[in-house]
Amino acid sequence: MARKESKHILTPSILNSGANVNYNAVLNVHDSCGSTHSTDVKPKDCTELQRAGKQSGIFTIYPNRPMQTGFNVSCDMDVDGGGWTVIQRRVSDTDFYKTWNEYQTGFGDLANNFWLGNQNISMITSQGRYELKNDLMATTGDTRYANYEVFSVGDAQSEYTLFVDGYSGNANDGMAHHNGVKCHDANLNGAFGNTEQGQGITWEHWIGNGVSLVRADMKIRRKI
């Protein structure tokens, strides 16, 4: 079966354990050729931090290495091999009804509920080939996942166009049909606990869009 390729505009309709922040992580980084970079190399994502032996937590990353000030991210080093940079998390009732600018720059608490920010996600995914993992939990406690082999977000000029490809998982493909339309098959940034049709945290092809999930997170990992 041919893979489905989807392009979307990354907006609120498509798209939170305390932790210490490591603001100054510097690494001995081994690249794909086996070379070791100097110890003052700043990490560009959680994949690089994992390769340097770091555990789950909050770190400062520098997607564009020359940049003097990076930004903080939550790293998941435990799930499915680790190395994941978490870009969204919903674990409790927090307002995700935000403006375009707020979705652009990001909001929330990296230790709890948050959106990392379109511009930050775009900057990270511009560094190579990334995969996406969506972990979902229903009110019954049942869990599902939806993975995509390829995930990227365009820059501001493209209005943060989302590209996903290569679905696998057990939640069914909820991101294949957005393509800029108003209706949606997945709304992980919906209103927590809202069971009105399509208004809650939904993944329609698993449990319908009249049921709100109690947990959802999106995480990305560099493959190349």
Predicted TM-score (pTM) of this structure: 0.75
Whether residue 169 contacts residue 146, with contact meaning beta carbons closer than 8 Å, is answered with yes
Q: What distance in Å separates the CA atoms of residue 187 and residue 30, rounded to the nearest whole number?
A: 38
pLDDT at residue number 221: 98
Residues in CB range of 69: below 8 A, 6 or more apart: none
pLDDT digit of tens for each residue in the chain (224 aa)? 444 444 444 544 444 333 444 434 445 444 434 444 334 579 999 999 999 999 999 999 999 777 678 999 999 999 999 999 999 998 877 778 788 899 899 999 999 999 999 999 999 999 999 999 988 887 778 788 889 999 998 899 988 888 888 989 887 777 766 433 334 434 655 545 445 554 455 565 556 565 667 788 899 999 97
- What does the alpha-carbon distance between residue 212 and residue 204 come to, in Å, rounded to a whole number? 10
Q: Which residues sit opposite 167 in a β-bridge?
A: 148
Helices (H), ranges, the chain: 46-51, 100-105, 118-125, 204-207
Residue 178, sorted as left (phi over 0), alpha (psi -120 to 50) or beta, turns out to be: alpha
Parallel/antiparallel/unpaired status of strands 71-76 and 57-61:
antiparallel
Structure tokens at 39: 């110890």
**pLDDT (0 to 100) of residue 35:** 42
What pLDDT is attached to residue 39? 40
The domains of the chain, with CATH numbers, are 5-222 (3.90.215.10)
